[in-house]
Amino acid sequence: MKKKNIYILTLSMGSGGAEKVISLILPFLIQRYTITLVLFSNNIHFDIPRDVNVIILNSEKKQSFFAKIFSFPVSIWKYMQLLKKDNAAVSLSFLTRPNLINGFIKIFLPNIKVIISERCYPSIAYKSTKSRYLFYKILIPLFYNKADLLFSNSIHINADLIENFKVSIPCKVIYNPIHISKNSNPTPAIQIDSSTFKLINVGSIYPIKNQGLILRALQNVNFKYELNFVGDGVMENDMIEMAAELKINQYVNFLGRRTNVNDYLNKSDCFILSSNSEGFPNVVLEAMAVGLPVISTNCMSGPLEILNENIAVSIHTGSFFVAKYGILINVDDHLGLKAAIEYLIQNPEIRHNLSKLSLERAEDYRTEIIMEKLYEILD
């Protein structure tokens, strides 16, 4: 029987969260379908299986503003021709711009099943400028509603799209997968008897990730610690300067982007997510998969779903909430974060229990489980 021909459209295969998800699902998809991965730019960080057909719409990694404007309609036309030529059955897109294109294409190729995937919380992520937000308020209902189906990685994202962006097509939730070896017998990564409490944050160092929250929480503490930042970004120099100003730079390491993230997670005692907003934080699951206790801001969206099965919580300023699978604090509350860290240090038995619960929760997001939900919408 001939395999169904599926196209996946995204901006690149760089080091972002959506790209990581694509890299995890591709090995499973190629066993069941003929897969063509179409990228707008030749930026590839993650491994792509050999059997996946990769097409780069624009070979230049860096373009001027005007070149981007000119190349965009050309790329749309190229993608539409590819779909027609190969008689594609499904066009699946990730991220906003590819989603808008995918919806636009449905107008001209109505027989193709168009599925779009939103990966961020729109009402926060699109508000970097007022004009950008208003632009998307027009384009999202116009073109997203042309698609056959939308899936995101959070029920809060779907609710936001429906309520604030007038999305009316069927919306489903498919959480991000995490790779856990079938043959692994994981044990908690934390070192209960370690004299130095090792904290880690993984992710791009951007304003919305708010890594400065962690630095502020660690000023004038009375415990011995080491803090590692794995990742890079536009705010890295600001964070280095902030650590020096707070006189904690000798305890803080900026390690840059690394491919062996698990090596650093395995040497840590606690993972901290400091974000003001998320789509669905892959790094939280990666930390939990090696048995790290997690402290996370209760930001929109993802942490509440992962750590407390989406049961709402109320957290007093300067305090924290011990959820079912981790600890939640309010967004940008450095006193609450400080209190949560001290709580874990002072209660090693709770830390050890949260470590075991992290491993348990990570199993719910095993790639094999998540793929069954994806197959349902692709078949």
The pLDDT tens digits along the chain (379 residues) read: 789 999 999 999 988 889 999 999 999 999 999 999 999 999 998 999 999 999 999 866 566 655 666 677 888 999 999 999 999 999 999 999 999 999 999 999 999 999 999 999 999 888 878 888 999 999 999 999 999 999 999 999 999 999 999 999 999 999 999 988 654 445 555 555 568 999 999 999 999 999 999 999 999 999 999 999 999 999 999 999 999 999 999 999 999 989 889 999 999 999 999 999 998 999 999 999 999 999 999 998 999 999 999 999 999 999 999 999 999 999 999 999 999 999 999 999 999 999 999 999 999 999 999 999 999 999 9
Would you state the pLDDT for residue 259?
Answer: 84
Would you state the pLDDT for residue 193?
Answer: 56
* Residue type at position 214: I
Would you state the pLDDT for residue 183?
Answer: 47
Would you state the pLDDT for residue 185?
Answer: 43
Q: From edge to edge, which strands make up the β-sheet containing 113-118?
A: 53-56, 34-39, 5-10, 90-94, 113-118, 149-152, 171-173
Structure tokens at 281: 């934080």
Strands 327-329 and 321-322: antiparallel
Question: Distance between CA atoms of 270 and 355, rounded to whole angstroms?
Answer: 9
Question: Distance between CA atoms of 47 and 26, rounded to whole angstroms?
Answer: 10
Sole residue written with tokens 């402290």: 295
Q: Three-class SS of residue 221?
A: coil
Question: Distance between CA atoms of 244 and 252, rounded to whole angstroms?
Answer: 9
Sorted by where each starts, the structural domains of the chain and their CATH numbers stand as 5-174 (3.40.50.2000), 197-363 (3.40.50.2000)
The predicted model scores a pTM of 0.88
Would you state the pLDDT for residue 191?
Answer: 58
Q: Are 367 and 25 in contact (CB under 8 A)?
A: yes
Question: Distance between CA atoms of 96 and 270, rounded to whole angstroms?
Answer: 33
